[in-house]
Amino acid sequence: MNNEAMNSIINNTDEMEQMNNIELLDESALSKLSKEEIIKYTLNLSTIFSQVAKLISELETKVISQTSELAVVKNANTLLQQRADDMDKRFTAIERDATNTSQYLRNQQIELKQLPEKIVKLNSTQLKETVAKILSTTGVNVTSTDIDKCHPLGQNNNAVILEFYCREQRDIILRSRKTLKNKKKTLEKIGCPNVMILESLCKSYGEMAYACRKLKSLGHILETWFFNGRLWIIPLEEAETKFQITHMSDLYDRFGQVVIRDIFCHDNN
């Protein structure tokens, strides 16, 4: 309700309050008046009642008008909320596409972690040769010429990221990496008994995969894994069904924003 309308209603209310202060005569007082005085008194009352009726009518009109304005405002708010929800859905869809595109660009890459620092700091040629030797322990024949790029992973002193010329070779290695658990002695000779071979994840998928692992440790899901550009979970309450996760909102919808945000807030603290 705007200030002008509010002031108008207040003024009208004040006028009615003044009318309430007019003294009405009882029968005893009326009997003491002359005929002319009674007629005058009656006319005054009639005038006052007419004014009261007019004021009430004006107030009703203003209230109806303000009610209509409130309805318009509520409808506008509803429309804005619908548009905001629509924009949020579109933004989420754009983020999904961007995340999947970013991950697709890594479809020839893998990461090796828990490497000794002396290996990570080798020059490019030596690093490729050593990495090829490590990967060959999976049973897949890998040479340095199969590797396009290979370098330390950011500021990490125990990890490298590499890119193959051929995606198929990367996929074969990822499927064969489970054999490493039986190759401890061979890996010890190379100097990396605890090496891990992992699919390279973009930032968004890395965060989602991390959240899924935490959810598993908290008992919210039975299993989670990432393979060939896709992140999967098996929820505790639906043990026979796997679900693909492509956006953080998928985890929000299933486990609640508070649970997911607490995972990252707790780790930041």
CATH number for position 188 = 3.30.70
Number of domains in the chain: 3
State whether 159 and 113 are in the same domain.
yes
Task: Please identify, among 101, 119, 144, the residue that sits at the C-terminal boundary of a domain.
Answer: 101
pLDDT at position 252 over 60: yes
State whether 195 and 210 are in the same domain.
no
Most confident of 48-52, 64-68, 184-188: 184-188
Is the separation of the CB atoms in 202 and 228 below 8 Å?
no
Is the separation of the CB atoms in 225 and 243 below 8 Å?
no
105/111 Cα distance (integer angstroms): 14
State whether 13 and 30 are in the same domain.
yes
151/216 Cα distance (integer angstroms): 32
State whether 13 and 97 are in the same domain.
yes
Residue 269 confidence class, pLDDT cut points 50, 70, 90: low
Higher pLDDT, 17 or 72: 72
Higher pLDDT, 232 or 4: 232
State whether 36 and 87 are in the same domain.
yes
State the alpha helices, DSSP H only, in 116-180.
Answer: 117-120, 124-136, 167-176
State whether 189 and 113 are in the same domain.
yes
What type of residue is 185? K
For residue 23, the model assigns a pLDDT of 61
Is the separation of the CB atoms in 92 and 100 below 8 Å?
no
State whether 48 and 84 are in the same domain.
yes
What count of other Cβ atoms lies within 10 Å of the Cβ of residue 112? 23
Q: Find all residues with CB under 8 Å of 138, minimum gap 6, and list them.
A: 173, 176, 177, 179, 180, 183, 197
pLDDT at position 204 over 80: yes
For 161, the token pair is 């990221």
Q: What percent of the chain is modeled with pLDDT above 70?
A: 87
State whether 195 and 172 are in the same domain.
yes
26/97 Cα distance (integer angstroms): 85
Residue 147 confidence class, pLDDT cut points 50, 70, 90: very high
Sheet bearing 221-227, strands edge to edge: 221-227, 230-235, 243-245
For residue 6, the model assigns a pLDDT of 47
Residue 150 β-bridge partners: 162
State whether 213 and 241 are in the same domain.
yes
Phi (first) and psi of residue 221, to 5 degrees: -135, 155
User: Which residue range is the domain that position 238 belongs to?
Assistant: 203-268
State whether 56 and 117 are in the same domain.
no
88: left (phi over 0), alpha (psi -120 to 50) or beta: alpha
State the alpha helices, DSSP H only, in the chain.
Answer: 3-20, 27-31, 35-104, 117-120, 124-136, 167-176, 184-190, 203-217, 248-255, 257-268
